[in-house]
Amino acid sequence: MQTGPPFDINEDSGPMSNSVCWGFTVIGAIFVGVRLYVRGALHKKLWVDDYWIILSLICTVLTSILTSLAVSYGGGKHMQAFDPQRPERIRGAILWLTTANVPSIMSIALPKMAVISLLIRLLVPGPRHRMFLLVMGTICMLSLSACAMQLMLQCSPPSFLWNRQGPEDQSGTCLSLKTTEYLSYWCGAYSAFLDFYLALYPSYKLFNLQMPLQKKIALSVALGFGVVYVFQSKFMCPSWYIS
């Protein structure tokens, strides 16, 4: 007996999600490539924030690759759409989709450290504020890392997550979904708070400097563009699940 709202069993969000993931990956790679060219080829030097960005791009590429693997197994479809005679399909979809969440989450955490490194280098905050920024970034990194690991290790053994035969299968145990939800809420809320802080802090600092108003506004917009990322990041790939 079906519960919940009706749905189209043939609905498949996998291909679209895969295309969106690779589209953003290519766009990001172009921007990072231009950034590294300017820093490396023209200025002959890479800064700490550049290395954080490179690590983030690597995680983004891994996310897209793993998302493609999940889609190849049927990721993005409803459970009822899978052939019961081919259980390896749904196992592969769950495995690669869950694995994709790890680099996806880290690709959100790493750029924050890049922004913090950039702000410390450009705005030269005092020792206390410098330490405050580093502590906030470290807390975010640790929180998101814990979230990523919890997704992979939520079951004992971990393979029980994708090898589970059904509700009656007692060969393993998993944490309550509430645990995952609460940790995700904390990570999402703290991540959004840090994005806002890092986006608005440069504006406060710049408007206290002696420079033309137009330049203050231009630099504030350039350095504070992370406000847009706060909203964009909530739709980062993979944002779809097997239902």
Q: How far, in Å, CA of 59 to CA of 52, rounded?
A: 11
- The mean per-residue pLDDT over the stretch 13-40 comes to 89
Residue 104 domain-assigned? yes
Band the pLDDT of 186: cuts 50, 70, 90: very high
Confidence at residue 234, expressed as pLDDT on a 0 to 100 scale: 47
Angle, CA 50 vertex, CA 48 and CA 54 arms, to 5°: 120
Cα end-to-end distance, the chain, whole Å: 16
For 156, the 3-state DSSP assignment is: strand
Neighbours of 63 (CB within 10 A): 26
DSSP letters for 111-145: HHHHHHHHHHHHH---HHHHHHHHHHHHHHHHHHH
Residue 167 domain-assigned? yes
Confidence at residue 87, expressed as pLDDT on a 0 to 100 scale: 76
pLDDT tops 80 at residue 166? no
Average pLDDT, the chain: 82
Q: How far, in Å, CA of 99 to CA of 183, rounded?
A: 18
Percent of the chain with pLDDT over 90: 32
Angstrom CA distances, 152 to 158, 162, 180, stand at: 7, 10, 11
The more confident residue out of 132 and 192 is 132
Q: How far, in Å, CA of 30 to CA of 50, rounded?
A: 14
Crossing angle (nearest 10°) for helices 177-206 and 127-152: 150
Query: Residues near 145 by Cβ (< 8 Å), separated by ≥ 6?
Result: 105, 106, 109
The more confident residue out of 87 and 48 is 48
State the total domains in the chain: 1
pLDDT tops 90 at residue 57? yes
Confidence at residue 176, expressed as pLDDT on a 0 to 100 scale: 86
Nearest to 33 by CA among 13, 60, 7: 60
**Range of 128's domain?**
14-235
> What letters, b where the CB count within 10 A reaches 16 and e where it falls short, cover 74-110?
bbbbbeebbeeeeeebbbbbbbbbbbbbbbbbbbbbb
Residue 145 domain-assigned? yes
Band the pLDDT of 242: cuts 50, 70, 90: very low
Q: How far, in Å, CA of 159 to CA of 157, rounded?
A: 5
Confidence at residue 219, expressed as pLDDT on a 0 to 100 scale: 66
Q: How far, in Å, CA of 95 to CA of 162, rounded?
A: 6
Confidence at residue 41, expressed as pLDDT on a 0 to 100 scale: 80
Residue 7 domain-assigned? no
pLDDT tops 80 at residue 181? yes
The pTM assigned to this predicted structure is: 0.81
Of 31-45, 55-69, 146-160, the one with minimum mean pLDDT is 31-45
Angle, CA 200 vertex, CA 198 and CA 206 arms, to 5°: 105
pLDDT tops 90 at residue 66? yes
The position carrying tokens 């640790």 is: 142
Residue 3 domain-assigned? no
